[in-house]
Structure 1
Amino acid sequence: MSVADINIARMSATVITYHLRMGRWEPNARGRLEQAALELFGERGFEQTTAAAIAERAGVTERTFFRHYADKREVLFAGALVMKDLLVGAVAEAPASASPLEATAGAIAAVGAMMQQRRELVRQRQVVVDANPELRERELAKMSTLGAALTGALRDRGVGELTARLTAEAGIAVFRVAFDSWVNDPDAAELPDVVRASFVELKAVTSGE
């Protein structure tokens, strides 16, 4: 393992600590609505599931549902803002000595740690998204938004525009590959570890090793 690989591992651990300080997810009313929605999407299909049915399954009123979500699609995509804030915050907290790629790897591993805590819900969600073309399009748009946020966070660290964009796009690509491997393999390692291994592989490919 090279010094650069060790740095990526250390950065990932450092920024995951940043995420864990935010606290673990708890199934409050919003969480119960999410769980109920994913159950119903799996049982009935996305199109056949109504907000009223989700609220009933969660044990709350339909009015409560709409206090938390604008519509049933938002149940699947409300977490995008949390991911964005986590990425931006983790890059900002990366040590000044971290390279753009190291800061990016640590931030994406932190997102992986958050998802690892919600592994079954994340997998249920992905099944729903994969089965619906409209939802797949929105998922692509979400990833583009995260890439733009990551680019901005790197620029705020003083990284040049081209380097920031290339690093952010590479980071999002690594995340997508790592996530796809993890979410489809019940025996996969924990997502932060898959992310770190994928970044190490990227460095090997780009350096010609």
Structure 2
Amino acid sequence: MRIVLATRNAHKVGELQAVLEPLLPGVEVLTVDAFEGVPEVAETEVTFAGNALLKAHAVARATGVPAVADDSGIAVDVLGGSPGVFSARWAGRHGDDVANLELLLAQIADVPAEHRGGAFVCAAAIALPDGTSAVRLGELRGTVTTAPTGGGGFGYDPVFVPVGADRTLAEHTAQEKNAISHRGAAFRALAPVVVDALAGRPIHD
């Protein structure tokens, strides 16, 4: 039994494998790099769930293997839920973590601590080659700091302190982060659906 992760992001591959493999013993977790001719998928939907499903369906069709994908980002309350699905390209260039962080912090520089709340949100999806699919959501509430701290994680991790914590996600170990993260929550919710799919049982949202 095997599934393919619909991402080429090395950070995400590591996180997803760490989350999924204990939940799915005996399942081989592959990446799109194990297949030739898998197209890049533009994230053109306006919701996390829409983008996750878009990627999962495209990779399942291209590989003939059940595909798992996610879309995630940070939603800041005072920005009306932005950056949201535009988190990875908030400053204009996809994947420029430093520029994205600097822009976000500048946009809320004058916002007091009690109003700097937000959440990391993740949609995790599975799609089968026959077009069947399902999606699950995960969320981690917290507060945006005024400056980045910590050398771990990626993306907005250095400026996000989860509720109940006194450190940013970038100051958490990988194990600590996986235990509480939005991505971990979404994929733990999706894991039973993946099990059903690989066992040939019907899946649904």
- If the length of structure 2 is used for normalisation, what is the TM-score? 0.29
- If the length of structure 1 is used for normalisation, what is the TM-score? 0.29
* Structure with higher helix content: 1
- Which protein has the larger Cα radius of gyration, Structure 1 or Structure 2? 1
* Structure with higher strand content: 2
Larger RCO (alpha carbons 8 Å, 6+ apart): 1
